[in-house]
Homo-oligomer: A and B are copies of this chain.
Amino acid sequence: MRVLETVEAVRAAVKNAKLKEQEVGLVPTMGFLHDGHLSLMKRARMENELVVVSIFVNPTQFGPNEDLESYPRDLAADLAKCESVGVDIVFTPSVSEMYPTGYSTYVNAEGNITKTLCGASREGHFKGVTSVVTKLFHIVAPTRAYFGQKDAQQVAVIQKMVRDLNYDLEIVPCEIVREADGLAMSSRNTYLSETQRKEALVLSQSLKIAKQAIDQGTKEASAVIEIMKKHIETAPSATVDYIQIVDARSLEDLDIIRGEVLIAMAVRIGKTRLIDNMRFIVV
């Protein structure tokens, strides 16, 4: 496994693979890797000859009052994990390698898709995501890029960007990986105290309850959201940021739950903002 810090070195390594007509899989991450990330890498390993993982805590996707400084980092542990699943190249650029002085070009999916859900409270977040992902796509030129469905809106926004701007690659969304008790894996889970860790289960539980209600015939989005809110409010440290039921592709709000549906939520447990979601088809 090679650890490369510059755009030039990654480009040279990938070009070599492409000359041999090898397919390239890219897994973009912000590091502090957990089993969710590893599931993406394993999938990439199965489907491509060359697997590139990027580890970069991207400043442009954090708001001014967000956790950029405190975001957890552990490069040594990350590299060991990448090695354990057979990654070929880990790209660990510095901030100045990605954003040299005078940097000013951004890619933005305009409209509802970046304004709804997390976009409502995280202004500029998705613009930072689409810009850094564009850079990584141009540097690595992957055949396929792997993203976790836990960031469902991120997947939808990137898929829209790829369609709109004609990127010649495949986006592979991968299932959410959960702890044994149902908590969706997240690097931010490390912020939780022991009590908060238990209370954080209300997120995944409320999704299960919602699915049951829908299966039993409740089809009004507002009714399902009310049921979920009530459950979440049983946790003293929980504050709902949003719960929305939307079309899984356009992310437009649904009144009646039908078609490819995404239930997505952000909930603060104490000061830690967690997200979770469930995607399914209702005929």
| Least CB distance, A91 to chain B, in whole angstroms | 12
| From B7, B11, B103, B161, contact of A105 by CB (8 A) | B161
Oligomeric state, in number of copies? 2
Shortest CB-to-CB span from A28 to chain B, Å, is: 14
Pair A166/B7 contact, Cβ less than 8 Å? yes
Q: Size band of the A side of the interface? A: 20 to 34
Contact present for B106 and A107 (CB under 8 Å): yes
**Complex Cα spacing A106 to B108, Å:** 5
Per the bound structure, the CA–CA distance linking A138 and B134 in Å amounts to 11
A237 to chain B minimum Cβ distance, whole angstroms, is: 37
Say yes or no: A105-B105 contact (C-beta < 8 A), given A134-B165, A165-B134, A166-B138: no
> Which B-chain residue is minimally distant from A167 (CB atoms)?
B138
Q: Is A47 at the interface (CB under 8 A from chain B)?
A: no
What is the CA–CA distance of A268 and B109 in the complex, to the nearest angstrom?
A: 35
Q: In the assembly, what is the distance between CA of A110 and CA of B131, in Å?
A: 13
Among the listed B105, B109, B111, B163, which residue makes an inter-chain contact with A164, where contact means beta carbons less than 8 Å apart? B105
Task: Write the A144-172 contact mask toward B (1 if CB under 8 angstroms, else 0).
Answer: 00000000000000001101111110000
CA distance A15 to B139 in the complex (A): 19
A103 nearest in chain B by CB position: B164
- A113 in the interface (beta carbon within 8 A): yes
Q: Which 3 residue pairs are nearest across A and B when measured between Cβ atoms?
A: A105-B164, A138-B166, A104-B111
User: B-contacting residues of A (Cβ < 8 Å)?
Assistant: 7, 11, 100, 102-111, 113, 130-131, 134-135, 138-139, 141, 160-161, 163-168, 250
